[in-house]
């Protein structure tokens, strides 16, 4: 992903502007970030032109019943996985009718981490009709990082990833 360095608040403004220019709609499915992506986007004036909806899908039941994440994915890979993030992004896109679905899932801590899936492990999914990708982030990486920092960074990364996708598809 290209490195986008902007002042706080600028990333989501640019994202809303790019979506508006391309007449595209976006929707979010958030577990780890608990609605922060939705908030970032809707903090921008005019976001109603591009933002369809946000689903805070903290439970596996909602991930499955509302977003269509398969039981097999949840059982085999867990809710903290690349596969789950991908299915969440695709599910919110289908559910909302948006052009782009973005998702986050992971472990914000301070508990819940394991050696294989440590605190700070985050997956961001992006889904469009012709593009699907998931990103793995390690936001704590063996250092003691606050839960809120992990959540904020994951949301910011997700917004940047969508913007980066749009910038690469002019």
Task: Tell me the per-residue pLDDT of 129-138, one tens digit each, with 9 for 90 and over.
Answer: 999 999 999 9
pLDDT at 143 > cutoff 70: no
Q: How many CB atoms within 10 Å of residue 130?
A: 6
Distance between CA 109 and CA 111 in Å, rounded? 4
Q: For the chain, report the end-to-end CA distance as a whole number of angstroms.
A: 16
Q: Please tell me the least confidently modeled range out of 1-5, 14-18, 155-159.
A: 1-5
Is residue 143 assigned to a domain? yes
Give φ, ψ of 45 to 5 degrees. Answer: -60, 135
Which pLDDT value is given to residue 142? 62
Is residue 84 assigned to a domain? yes
Query: Is 98 in contact with 88 (CB distance < 8 Å)?
Result: no
Is residue 3 assigned to a domain? no
Query: For the whole model, what pTM was predicted?
Result: 0.92
Is residue 139 assigned to a domain? yes
Q: What is the dihedral of CA 32, 155, 17, 131, to 10 degrees?
A: -60
Strand blocks (E) in the chain: 26-30, 51-56, 100-106, 121-127, 132-138
If one counts the domains in the chain, the total is 1
User: What tokens appear for 85 in the block?
Assistant: 């993030």
pLDDT at 5 > cutoff 90: no
Model confidence band, residue 8 (pLDDT cutoffs 50, 70, 90): low
Domain span at residue 48? 10-165
Domain of 93, CATH number, reads: 3.90.950.20
pLDDT at 74 > cutoff 60: yes
Is residue 5 assigned to a domain? no
Model confidence band, residue 2 (pLDDT cutoffs 50, 70, 90): very low
Model confidence band, residue 69 (pLDDT cutoffs 50, 70, 90): very high
Is residue 170 assigned to a domain? no
Is residue 147 assigned to a domain? yes
Return the percentage of the chain with pLDDT > 70, whole number.
Answer: 91
């Amino acid at each position: 992903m290209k490195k986008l360095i902007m002042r706080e608040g600028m990333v989501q403004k640019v994202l809303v502007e790019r979506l508006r220019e391309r007449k595209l709609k976006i929707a979010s499915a958030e577990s780890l970030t608990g609605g922060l992506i939705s908030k970032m986007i809707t903090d921008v004036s005019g976001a109603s032109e591009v933002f369809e909806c946000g689903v805070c899908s903290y439970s596996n039941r909602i991930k499955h019943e509302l977003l269509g994440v398969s039981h097999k994915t949840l059982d085999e890979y867990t809710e903290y996985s690349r596969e789950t993030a991908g299915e969440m992004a695709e599910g919110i896109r289908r559910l909302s009718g948006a052009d782009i679905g973005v998702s986050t899932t992971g472990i914000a801590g301070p508990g819940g981490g394991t050696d294989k899936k440590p605190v700070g492990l985050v997956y961001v999914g992006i889904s469009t009709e012709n593009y699907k990708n998931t990103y793995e982030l390690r936001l704590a990486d063996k250092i003691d990082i606050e839960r809120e920092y992990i959540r904020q960074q994951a949301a910011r990364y997700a917004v940047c990833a969508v913007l980066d996708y749009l910038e690469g598809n002019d």
